[in-house]
């Protein structure tokens, strides 16, 4: 196994430890969530460098108070250092966006992105479908290319994972320099379509 795959495996191991220690799934379910779906890089074994864990949450009966109750329970964990909230219910996204930061034993901060969607959101189920499609396209070679490119992004530079997935899986990009060239010709704004 290549060094990059070993590094990604270690990030994945740490990420699952954060999920277990925060009890994030159990907390949301105790506050009325019917589904707590892992999406993003951890879902497909593509987590590296950027400590970010993404969930989409659905409730049979969507209540603002349930969402806040989940965050109150999460905040009881002393390793949760910060929580932010954006109310997007009156936008086209029709959701509440929560971000929490968890500090691990090595003082690394893990960002927990929790999007609580109403059932009438046009994004309900959308990113779960994309995660499944990406997972189905991955091969050992493309996984290694994606991880290598993600790991090459300089600290502080924002690149969405989906940009890299599109570059590698849809456009056969093989390295970071080629990715930068390809990316400079794209017009990514807002939510990037798969």
Domains of the chain: which residue ranges? 3-122, 130-184
Residue by residue, DSSP assigns 18-53 as: HHHHHTHHHHHHHTTEEEEEEEHHHHTT---SS-EE
What is the C-alpha separation between 133 and 150, in angstroms, rounded? 19
Q: What integer is the mean pLDDT of 161-189?
A: 92
CB-CB contact of 164 with 146 (8 Å): yes
d(CA 156, CA 158): 6
What's the token pair of residue 179? 């990715």
What is the average pLDDT across 16-26? 98
pLDDT tens, residue by residue, 54-70: 999 999 999 999 999 99
Domain 3-122: homologous superfamily in CATH: Beta Polymerase, domain 2 (3.30.460.10)
Per-residue pLDDT tens for 103-115? 999 999 999 999 9
């Amino acid at each position: 196994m290549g060094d990059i795959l070993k590094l990604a495996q270690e990030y994945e191991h740490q990420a699952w430890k954060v999920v277990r220690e925060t009890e994030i799934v159990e907390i949301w379910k105790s506050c009325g969530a019917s589904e707590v779906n892992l999406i993003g890089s951890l879902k497909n074994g593509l987590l590296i460098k950027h400590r970010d864990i993404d969930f989409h949450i659905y409730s049979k009966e969507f209540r603002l108070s349930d969402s806040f109750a989940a965050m109150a329970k999460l905040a009881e964990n002393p390793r949760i250092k910060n929580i932010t909230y954006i109310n997007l219910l009156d936008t086209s996204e029709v959701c509440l966006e929560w971000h929490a930061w968890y500090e691990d034993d090595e003082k690394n901060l893990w960002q927990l992105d929790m999007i609580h969607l109403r059932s009438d959101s046009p994004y309900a189920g959308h990113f779960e479908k994309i995660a499944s499609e990406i997972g189905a396209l991955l091969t050992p070679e493309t996984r290694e290319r994606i991880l290598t490119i993600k790991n090459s992004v300089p600290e502080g530079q924002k690149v969405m994972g989906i940009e890299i997935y599109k570059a590698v899986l849809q456009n056969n990009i093989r390295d970071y320099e080629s990715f930068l060239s390809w990316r400079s010709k794209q017009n990514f704004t807002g939510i990037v379509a798969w």
